[in-house]
Amino acid sequence: MNSNRLSRITVSGFLIFIAVSSGCDCGNNPAWEPTSYTIDIPAFFPPMDIPADNAMTEEGIKLGRLLFWEKSLSLDHSISCGSCHAPTSNFSDPNQFSSGVNGTLGSRNASVIINLGWSSSFFWDGRAMTLEDQIRDPVEHPLEMNVAWEVVVDRLMNDDFSELDYPQMFFDAFGTEIITEDLTVKAIAQFIRTMISANSKFDKWRRGETDLSDLEYLGYQLFLKEGGDPEVNPGGEFGADCFHCHGEAGLQFSDYLFHNNGLDPSFENDPGRVNVTGFVLDSGLFKTPTLRNVALSAPYMHDGRFNSLEEVVDHYNSGGVSSSTIDTFMKYTTGGLELAPQQKEALIAFLHALTDTTYIQNPDFSNPH
């Protein structure tokens, strides 16, 4: 800090800044010189869109990591973002529903955090269109962190709960000691954009560094083929029919769109996307999740109803449950895909080949507190 500094005093919820002179030349404030950070885009990945108003810096990423794991972003200082996004579970929650402050449970399974810099919408219902907007929501959500952003900012500004000098770190990242909700969100978003996975066995195979086993390769072929008997369903290839929603374009194994994948005949418990759009045909639709590290991401579906990949494959193999908005890609509700046991085994083997343990073990993503 410069010897001509700002003292921070909170009076009735308002921050008052008082200049404290110590005999220096007040025009010689330290220059703000952030260190630019360039994301290393993995092979076969498309470019990542970075918001023009949130350029990546090493200082911003460092701050964002601290804030991601900062429990003072919750009402009672009991949970952080990382509490519901555990590294060992692919930065998701191994429980069906996450526990917020005071033990309150949410109603949807926590989404995974992996390669979100390429996602075009956020949350199971897509109610946030930017990563920054997604980060705002859980802090004030009554079933999650349940604290007003004004309180969070006050805590970070006064840093009476921590040995960390957050105002100085915000200056290093953004050129100002005045902490705001917007800058807090931007820092966390910078950190999350660095959370990239591209080192699974499948990735290594695509790069020519290893081979898939015969079983994994059979699963990959089934993954890419149309389902159904061609004599009954024109175009059928006896495949698993996964690629429509989980295609490898962009190598994220998600189309980032919204589908009704045949879980329920009606949607009273969770109407899904319709709550965002108001469009009745969006009833029962939820965002397609990525399949990267899917073997580590149980439980599955928006409500965490399936505990294993075997259950998931059995669901699709059965054809699912018909409803008024079931996706046109779920076209085998009568009779199902009829995959043989060996084919199901092969498909699951391929899904395991999407596991990248270096991602969940990356020390740059771990709790720094």
* pLDDT tens digits, one per residue of 225-251: 988 777 777 777 889 999 999 988 779
Q: Is residue 279 part of a domain?
A: yes
Domain final residue pick, 176, 197, 218: 197
Give the CATH number of the domain where residue 220 resides: 1.10.760.10
Q: Is residue 261 part of a domain?
A: yes
Q: Is the pTM of this model over 0.75?
A: yes
| φ, ψ for residue 23, nearest 5 deg | 85, 15
Report, as an integer, the average pLDDT of 127-131: 97
| φ, ψ for residue 356, nearest 5 deg | -125, 95
Same domain? For 183 and 211 the reply is no
Q: Could you tell me the two tokens for 73?
A: 């972003």
Q: Is residue 65 part of a domain?
A: yes
Q: Is residue 144 part of a domain?
A: yes
Confidence of residue 334 (pLDDT cuts 50, 70, 90): low
Q: Given a cut of 80, is residue 3 above it in pLDDT?
A: no
Q: Given a cut of 70, is residue 118 above it in pLDDT?
A: yes
* pLDDT tens digits, one per residue of 293-302: 999 999 999 9
Report, as an integer, the average pLDDT of 143-161: 91
Q: Is residue 363 part of a domain?
A: no
Q: Is residue 137 part of a domain?
A: yes
DSSP sequence for 261-297: -S--S--SS--BTHHHH--GGGTTBEEPPP-TTGGGS
Write down the pLDDT at residue 115.
Answer: 98
What does the longest C-alpha to C-alpha distance in the chain come to?
A: 89
Domain final residue pick, 143, 176, 197: 197
Domain final residue pick, 148, 172, 197: 197
Q: Is 336 left (phi over 0), alpha (psi -120 to 50) or beta?
A: left
Same domain? For 56 and 153 the reply is yes
Same domain? For 279 and 334 the reply is yes
Q: Given a cut of 70, is residue 328 above it in pLDDT?
A: yes
Same domain? For 166 and 71 the reply is yes
DSSP-derived 3-state class of residue 179 = coil
Gap between the Cα atoms of 351 and 295, Å rounded = 7
* pLDDT tens digits, one per residue of 78-98: 999 999 999 999 999 999 999
Q: Which amino acid is at 185?
A: V
Same domain? For 40 and 161 the reply is yes
* pLDDT tens digits, one per residue of 169-196: 999 999 999 999 999 999 999 999 999 9
Average pLDDT taken over every residue of the chain: 90
Same domain? For 220 and 272 the reply is yes
Report, as an integer, the average pLDDT of 118-137: 97
What proportion of the chain, given as a percentage, has pLDDT over 70? 91
Domain count for the chain: 3
Write down the pLDDT at residue 6.
Answer: 42
Report, as an integer, the average pLDDT of 126-146: 96
Give the count of beta carbons closer than 10 Å to the beta carbon of residue 249: 10
Same domain? For 72 and 171 the reply is yes
Same domain? For 137 and 245 the reply is no
Q: For the chain, how many helices (H) and strands (E)?
A: 12, 4
Of the given ranges (81-90, 92-101, 208-217, 329-338), which has the lowest mean pLDDT? 329-338
Same domain? For 19 and 143 the reply is no
Q: Is residue 341 part of a domain?
A: yes
Q: Which of 249, 242, 265, 264 is nearest to 329 (CA)?
A: 242
Strands 5-11 and 286-287: unpaired
Same domain? For 141 and 272 the reply is no
Report, as an integer, the average pLDDT of 89-118: 96
Gap between the Cα atoms of 232 and 66, Å rounded = 56
Give the count of beta carbons closer than 10 Å to the beta carbon of residue 265: 11
Confidence of residue 4 (pLDDT cuts 50, 70, 90): very low
Q: Which of 197, 173, 98 is nearest to 143 (CA)?
A: 98
Same domain? For 281 and 257 the reply is yes
Domain assignment of residue 20, given as a range: 1-30
Q: Is residue 366 part of a domain?
A: no
* pLDDT tens digits, one per residue of 36-73: 999 999 999 999 999 999 999 999 999 999 999 999 99
| Residue 106 DSSP code | -
Give the count of beta carbons closer than 10 Å to the beta carbon of residue 283: 19
Q: Could you tell me the two tokens for 186?
A: 């931007």
* pLDDT tens digits, one per residue of 11-38: 334 444 433 333 333 344 578 999 999 9
Write down the pLDDT at residue 259.
Answer: 97
Write down the pLDDT at residue 27.
Answer: 40
Same domain? For 288 and 214 the reply is yes
